[in-house]
Structures are given as structure tokens and as C-alpha cells.
Amino acid sequence: MTRARTARDDGLRPTPSRWINLGGMGKFKTWQLARTSYFVRHCGHPTANYPWYGERPNGSIITSGRDGECGMAFRNLDDAKVAVELDHAGQRRAIALTAAQRRAA
């Protein structure tokens, strides 16, 4: 059995200047996409393997699945930030973490 990749394979990284650190430590950490109501939050569980998720202005969750829906949260903070940036830009189909997932979308 092979393990699914958990890091982006398209080389995308978040734009540091677009993110505002709202403070907090560890499981209370929150980031906001500048001049928007998009957030990246930690789920709160101290030993979670996939703790980071995005939150849209309407309160819905952004995950690693197709179109940012019906998937798992993100293992890496950078992956969650990229997903939020893509969702904000209207590119939901590009959120999936691997090329295979993006082709299937």
C-alpha cells in the first residue's frame, strides 16, 4: 500500500505579504488573508496529523478535496494558505494537493 502525498506537488507556496498573523500559539494560531474575510485556522487538537483548514467568509470550510470540499484538512500551514489563496482567486479546481486529484476534478 502506498501512502498519499501530503505536500503540494505543483510547487505553489503562499504569498507571505498577503497573510496577517492574528496571534495565538500552537492550536490557537490563526492567519487572515489580507483585506478579506478568509482565514486559516488550527483545528485545536494538539496531536492532529492534519490540523490546518481554511475558512471562507460564509463560514464554510476549505479542505484538500476536489473544489476545496469533501476532503481532509491540511498537514502543512503553507498548503492551507495556498488553498485559501486559490479559493479566493476563484480557482477551486486547483486546490487538490496532487496532480492526480486535480485531473480527477
Instruction: Give the model's pLDDT for residue 1.
Output: 44
Per residue in 29-83, pLDDT tens? 899 999 999 999 998 888 889 999 999 999 999 998 877 888 889 988 999 999 9
Of residues 12 and 6, more confidently modeled = 12
Q: Say how far apart CA 38 and CA 73 lie, in whole Å.
A: 15
Q: Is the pLDDT of residue 97 over 80?
A: no
Asked if 18 and 86 count as a contact pair (C-beta separation under 8 A), the reply is: no
Asked if 79 and 49 count as a contact pair (C-beta separation under 8 A), the reply is: no
Q: Is the pLDDT of residue 4 over 80?
A: no
Q: Say how far apart CA 52 and CA 80 lie, in whole Å.
A: 6
